[in-house]
Amino acid sequence: MNNPYFDELAERLRARGLPEDEVSRTVDDLAAFVAEAGTDPVQEFGTPEEFAPQVAPDEAPVDVRGGPVPPDEGETWKWRADAFHEREVLNRYGDEGWEVERVDSTGRFVSHRAPDDPQRWEYHRETVLPGRRKAVVDRLAPDGWEPCGTWICFEYFKRPKAAILGPEAELREVSVTPSGRNFWSRRFYVFIACYGAFLAAVCVAWIVLAPDDSHTGFLTGFLVGALIVMALVAARVWLDRRRRAS
């Protein structure tokens, strides 16, 4: 890495109790992002002292303005959704006052709701090609959009609805923190099923057209492995739905 900024950030993340493998993965991802964007990490993220509590807020919530904060101000809610309907989920919970601070290294939205005077938020997503992030940020900034996370080729933006609704954007009553952590759409299920069917069809066709024993053994193993992965994904989705329903 050989960058004083990320060396210090890594030390601060370790001090906050983040596991070593997650520290390495997070710092490597951030360093790669900065290198690709050609930006200064301090301008992009703030100082390591300010940024570390945002990356690892659960261990010891800290107000970047100075000093510890009460537990209710340190409350965060982490969740994920598939790309087919994540914008719908973002805006649904944005209307309940949840502000996304960032997208973590596992693809979860890390969100926070102000304990005092919560307000509604709205969200926007852009597909950003490598090296084009700054141009997209500059294009959306005049309309009040500010970046709040990056995941692979997606860039997420937020803005308070007060910019459009004025005082009506303030929430007088707030709902409880959602119990859900994963939100999967029907289109996601269809995608998984179609993808599995496609893999099975490719493997069967290959076996039929190239019935060599080595090919057959390799493809059989590949097919079995793919089906196991699909079964694990399906089981995880089913358990998430049962947990949300209970």
Q: What is the pLDDT of residues 36-55, one digit of tens each?
A: 777 788 877 788 888 888 77
Backbone φ and ψ for 228, nearest 5 degrees, come out as -65, -45
| pLDDT higher than threshold 90 for residue 79 | yes
Q: State both tokens at 41.
A: 């990490």
CB proximity list for 110: less than 8 A, separation 6 or greater: 54, 57, 76, 77, 78, 100, 101, 102, 103, 104
8, pLDDT greater than 50: yes
Among candidates 40, 99, 52, 91, which has minimal Cα distance to 75? 99
- Nearest C-alpha neighbor of 183 from the set 57, 55, 78: 78
**Mean pLDDT value across the chain:** 77
Partners of 200 in the beta sheet? none
- pLDDT at 71 > cutoff 50: no
34 compared with 239, residue with greater pLDDT: 34
Q: Which of 80-89, 183-192, 232-241 has the lowest mean pLDDT?
A: 232-241
Whole-number pLDDT of residue 67: 40
Phi, psi of 94 (to 5 degrees): -60, -35
- One DSSP character per residue, 93-117 reads HHTTT-EEEEE-TTS-EEEE--SSS
| Residue position matching structure tokens 């959306």 | 140
Q: Pick from 157, 150, 182: which is nearest to 34 by CA?
A: 150
Between CA 41 and CA 1 the distance in angstroms is 13
Report for 39-48, 72-81, 108-117, 219-228: range of highest mean pLDDT? 108-117
Residue 131 has pLDDT above 80, yes or no: yes
Residue type, 85: H
Weakest-pLDDT range from 67-76, 124-133, 142-151, 205-214? 67-76
Q: What are the residue ranges of helices labelled H in 46-153?
A: 48-55, 86-94, 133-140
Q: Helix or strand or coil: residue 153? A: coil
SS3 125: strand
| Cα 141 to Cα 161: distance, rounded to the nearest angstrom | 15
CB atoms within 10 A of CB 220: 12
Q: Is the pLDDT of residue 238 over 70?
A: no
Residue 3 has φ and ψ, to the nearest 5°, of -135, 120
